[in-house]
Amino acid sequence: MSLQDVTKSSTKLRELQDEFTSMKTTNASAHAAAQTSLARKNNSAMAGMADLAVLLDGEFDPAHPPDGLAPALKRAEGLWADAKDAALDCWNITSSYSIKVAQLHDSKIAAWHSEAQELKGHLQSKLDTLKGALATQRNTLEDLLEAAEGAAQALKTMDRKLYEAQHKYDEADMWTLLWPPARLYLEGLKLLIEATTNDQEGARRGVATAQAALRQAQTRAADAEALALDTARRAAAHAGVLRKGRELLAACAGLVGGVEAAQREVGALKNECVRAQEVVGRCATRAEGAGYALTKGEYGEAILRVCEVGLESISLRPAAVSICKHLAAHDDGAGSIRGIRTEQHKEGLLAYLEAQGAAVTGNLLANLPPMMWMAAAAPHLDPLPLATEDGMPLTEEHKTDIMNFLHSIALF
């Protein structure tokens, strides 16, 4: 594994980190815009249902419906079509985001992580090999150092022997002047001096050879140590990159789960809008076919069915409860609204929705944090606190629960 492999892995991780951040930022902007549009159109659609409900106030003569009934029904149909389109936009954005996040996690980050793990193994294997080679080089260096020291010691021995032989020769040479037969002894010393001189040259060559081998071994050992240190540094750097990669992989995996949850929520919103649009669309089609001469109960059932859908949504719930309350308060003498019954709600659709609305309000109240909640029930007497009784700041979920409660508290 070369330095380029480590650098390439690190560069690829930075690219994936940038892609992850950019993807989240882009989606957040698109999703926020789509959610804002959906909320606005949902509110407009529920306002259209409220306008339609007002037109049913009191006694209602199917033969002479209010002049504004047909336009109001057509407007409500168009508003729910717009809301459905907005919900589909949200769904498409979330679904597309879910696919992109999954692909980034599975096809890119996970693949990079697998390659990075493999690179880590190669680096460790190479480092182990280099450490073994370095240990061998150091052992060889020690052996050569001993050999060089032995060669140097042998040269010193030869130097001493040559000095001694030469000294004996010089002393004997003085005696030959007094006794010529002593020259025979000098001839033997000459042979010894020549042999020792040859041995000295051999020892000197041995020292030179040992020192050259030692220098080469020192160079090889230094190179091996430098390579081992460089590989160790690259392995440590890659370990840091791999740690960041695991963090990115975990973050992306968490995002996958979060997006899947968001997709379920958006899917529920989409289904609610589709159901409401279908209810209003069927009512509009029937009404147009009948010259808008439907009964108050028939119009009321369509409105209540939309409210049934609205009660399933936190954002639409207050408006749905308000419409139900208005229809109940402005029923006719025959109880046309109160008398609407379906297969699912034989006790009466309005009674069911009123019970559901009351239960929702109770649940909202139960979800409020402990903080003198009577202030929430009577906001005109005391402002809402910005923290709970234990001094902890309100979470966004707390604030949502409080606002939903305040929307609904006045409806029952």
How far apart CA 280 and CA 306 sit, in angstroms, is 8
Do residues 234 and 156 both lie within one domain? yes
| Overall number of domains in the chain | 2
Q: Read off the pLDDT of each residue in 157-169 and give the average, rounded to a whole number.
A: 74
User: Percentage of the chain with pLDDT > 70?
Assistant: 81
- Residue from 292, 303, 361 nearest 331 by CA: 303
Q: In the listed set 191, 211, 238, which residue is the last one of a domain according to the structure?
A: 238
Residue ranges making up the domain that contains 159: 133-238
What is the Rg, in whole angstroms, of the alpha carbon atoms belonging to the chain? 48
Q: What is the pLDDT, as a whole number, of residue 209?
A: 80
Do residues 221 and 311 both lie within one domain? no
Structure tokens that stand for 104 in this block: 């980034």
Given phi > 0 = left and psi -120 to 50 = alpha, else beta, which region is 405? Answer: alpha
Whether residue 31 lies inside any domain: the answer is: no
Contact of 404 with 313, CB cutoff 8 Å: no
Mind listing the pLDDT tens digit for each residue in 20-71?
Answer: 999 999 998 998 999 999 999 999 999 999 999 999 999 999 999 999 999 9
Whether residue 55 lies inside any domain: the answer is: no
Q: In the listed set 189, 222, 238, which residue is the last one of a domain according to the structure?
A: 238
Do residues 227 and 299 both lie within one domain? no
Which string of b and e fits 218-244 if b means at least 16 CB within 10 Å? Answer: eebbeebbeebeebeebbebbeebbee
> Which residues contact residue 173 at a Cβ distance below 8 angstroms, ignoring those fewer than 6 apart?
186
Mind listing the pLDDT tens digit for each residue in 265-314?
Answer: 999 999 999 999 999 999 999 999 999 999 999 999 999 999 999 998 88
How far apart CA 29 and CA 109 sit, in angstroms, is 23
Q: What is the pLDDT, as a whole number, of residue 186?
A: 63
Whether residue 39 lies inside any domain: the answer is: no
Do residues 230 and 299 both lie within one domain? no
Residue 172 pLDDT > 50: yes
Contact of 284 with 52, CB cutoff 8 Å: no
Long-range contacts of the stretch 219-225 (C-beta < 8 A, 24+): 220/137, 221/134, 221/137, 221/138, 221/140, 221/141, 224/130, 224/133, 224/134, 224/137, 225/134
Partners of 387 in beta bridges: 393
Q: What is the pLDDT, as a whole number, of residue 385?
A: 43
Do residues 218 and 303 both lie within one domain? no
Q: Is the pTM of this model over 0.85?
A: no
How far apart CA 55 and CA 350 sit, in angstroms, is 18
Contact of 112 with 19, CB cutoff 8 Å: no
Q: In the listed set 238, 253, 285, which residue is the last one of a domain according to the structure?
A: 238
Do residues 311 and 393 both lie within one domain? yes
Q: For the chain, report the end-to-end CA distance as a whole number of angstroms.
A: 73
Do residues 194 and 299 both lie within one domain? no
Average pLDDT, the chain: 81
Whether residue 44 lies inside any domain: the answer is: no
- Residue from 48, 32, 44 nearest 89 by CA: 32
Which string of b and e fits 380-395 if b means at least 16 CB within 10 Å? Answer: eeeeeeeebeeeeebe
Q: Supply the CATH number for residue 146's domain.
A: 1.10.287.1700
Main-chain dihedrals φ then ψ at residue 239, nearest 5 degrees? -60, -40
How far apart CA 263 and CA 341 sit, in angstroms, is 34
Do residues 306 and 402 both lie within one domain? yes
Mind listing the pLDDT tens digit for each residue in 300-356?
Answer: 999 999 999 999 888 889 999 999 999 999 999 999 999 999 888 888 999 999 998
Whether residue 404 lies inside any domain: the answer is: yes
- Beta strand spans in 64-136 (E): none
How far apart CA 89 and CA 86 sit, in angstroms, is 5
Main-chain dihedrals φ then ψ at residue 387, nearest 5 degrees? -150, 160
Q: What is the pLDDT, as a whole number, of residue 392?
A: 47
Whether residue 223 lies inside any domain: the answer is: yes
Do residues 412 and 305 both lie within one domain? yes
Structure tokens that stand for 183 in this block: 């020259």
Partners of 181 in beta bridges: none
Do residues 299 and 196 both lie within one domain? no
